[in-house]
Amino acid sequence: MKKVEIATAIMNKLDELYPETHIPLHHKDPYTLLVAVLLSAQCTDERVNQVTPHLFALADNPAEMAKVDVDLIQDIVRPCGLSKNKSRAIHRLSEIIRDKFAGQVPASFEELEKLPGVGHKTASVVMSQAFGIPAFPVDTHIHRLAYRWKLSTGKNVEKTERDLKAVFPRERWNDLHLKIIYFGREYCPSRGHNPYGCPICSIHGRKSMFVEFDKNRK
C-alpha cells in the first residue's frame, strides 16, 4: 500500500471521527492565539486555557501588554512552566508588534519566526489557524503518529512536516493537523496503546501494517 493510499484512508477515518474541529487554545484574534501557542510549549492546552483569561484580562493586545511589567507577566504565566523565558518573550514580541507592525501580528512565516519565543511550529499554528495559510504544524502527537502510520521515518519534526505535506492535500493541512492531534490524545497514545482497538491502527485488521511497523520500531 502506497503512502498516499494510507494517508487517504487515515484522512477518511479522521473526517468520520471529527467532522468539525476547533482550535483547543482559547483566543479571540491572531495576537491572543500567538501568546497562547507560545505558552503551550511543554504545557497542556488545558493549563494554558486556565492561565490566559487572567493574562488577557490584564492585557489582550500588544500595546497594553508592552506596558505590563515582565515580573507581573511571569507571575501569571508561572503555571505554564518556563515562565521566565515565556514572560520575557511575550513582553518583547508585544513591543516589536506594536512598534514595527502597528500592533498587528504579521502574516508571514519569516516575520513571525523572528519574534522572540516563536519557532516554526508556533508560526505554523498562527499562519494556519489565524490567517488561513496552509501549514502543517507538527507537535509530539503528530510526530509520533506519522511514524506509527508509516507516513514518515520520524527522524525529526522537520522531515515529518515535509513527509505529511507530500501525502495530504494542501487544502486539508490546516484541519488535518488538528484532527491528528485530537485522535492521538483520544485513541492513539504513546504508551498503553492497543493497536487492535484503535480506529486507524486496526484498519487492516490483525495483519495491520501499522501494528507491525510500530512493533519493529527501534
Which set of grid coordinates corresponds to residue 19? 467532522
Burial (CB count within 10 angstroms: exposed 0-12, middle 13-18, buried 19+), residue 1: exposed
Q: What is the Cα–Cα distance from 126 to 19, expressed in whole angstroms?
A: 22
Backbone angles phi, psi at 81, to 5 degrees: 80, 160
Q: What is the Cα–Cα distance from 214 to 86, expressed in whole angstroms?
A: 35
Catalytic residue among 86, 121, 163, 179: 121
Catalytic residue among 15, 45, 60, 139: 139
Q: What is the Cα–Cα distance from 152 to 159, expressed in whole angstroms?
A: 7
Annotation marks residue 207 as catalytic: no
Look at residues 36, 51, 34, 26 and name the one whose alpha carbon lies nearest to residue 103. Answer: 34
Annotation marks residue 121 as catalytic: yes
Contact between residue 52 and residue 39 where contact means Cβ atoms under 8 Å apart: yes
Q: What is the Cα–Cα distance from 13 to 31, expressed in whole angstroms?
A: 33
Backbone angles phi, psi at 37, to 5 degrees: -65, -40
At a CB cut-off of 8 Å and minimum separation 6, what does 17 contact? 179, 183, 199
Q: Which residues are catalytic?
A: 121, 139
